[in-house]
Amino acid sequence: MRRRSDERGLREKSAAELWPPLRRFVEIEAGIGRWATRGGKARRFLYEFARFGIKQAWACLFGGIMVFLVLATRLFYPAHAQLPRYDFLFLAALGVQAALILLRFESLKEAGVIFLFHVVGTVMELFKTAQGSWVYPEAAFFRIGGVPLFTGFMYACVGSYMMRAWALFDFRFTHHPPLWQVGALAAAIYVNFFAHHYVPDARLLLFAASGALFWRTTIYYRIHHSWRTMPLLLAAFLASCFIWIAENVATYSHVWLYPDQIAAWKPVGLAKLGSWFLLQIVSYALVALACKPQPPDDAPILESRARHDDRLTYRSRVSG
302 C-beta neighbours (distance < 10 Å), count: 12
In the chain, where the domains are located: 16-319
pLDDT at 4 > cutoff 50: no
Q: Does position 299 have pLDDT exceeding 90, yes or no?
A: no
Q: In the predicted model, what is the mean pLDDT of residues 225-238?
A: 94
- How far is it, in rounded angstroms, from Cα 154 to Cα 122? 10
Pick the closest to residue 114 from 82, 147, 158, 145 (CA basis).
Answer: 158
What per-residue string of b and e applies to 35-65 under the rule 16 or more CB within 10 Å gives b? ebeeeeeeebeebbeebeeebeebbbbbbeb
| pLDDT score of 43 | 83
pLDDT in tens, 5-39: 444 443 455 555 555 556 666 666 767 777 777 77
Confidence of residue 317 (pLDDT cuts 50, 70, 90): low
The per-residue pLDDT for range 34-93, each reduced to its tens digit, is 777 777 788 888 888 888 998 899 899 999 999 999 999 999 999 889 999 999 999 999
Angle between helices 108-131 and 179-195 (to 10 degrees): 30
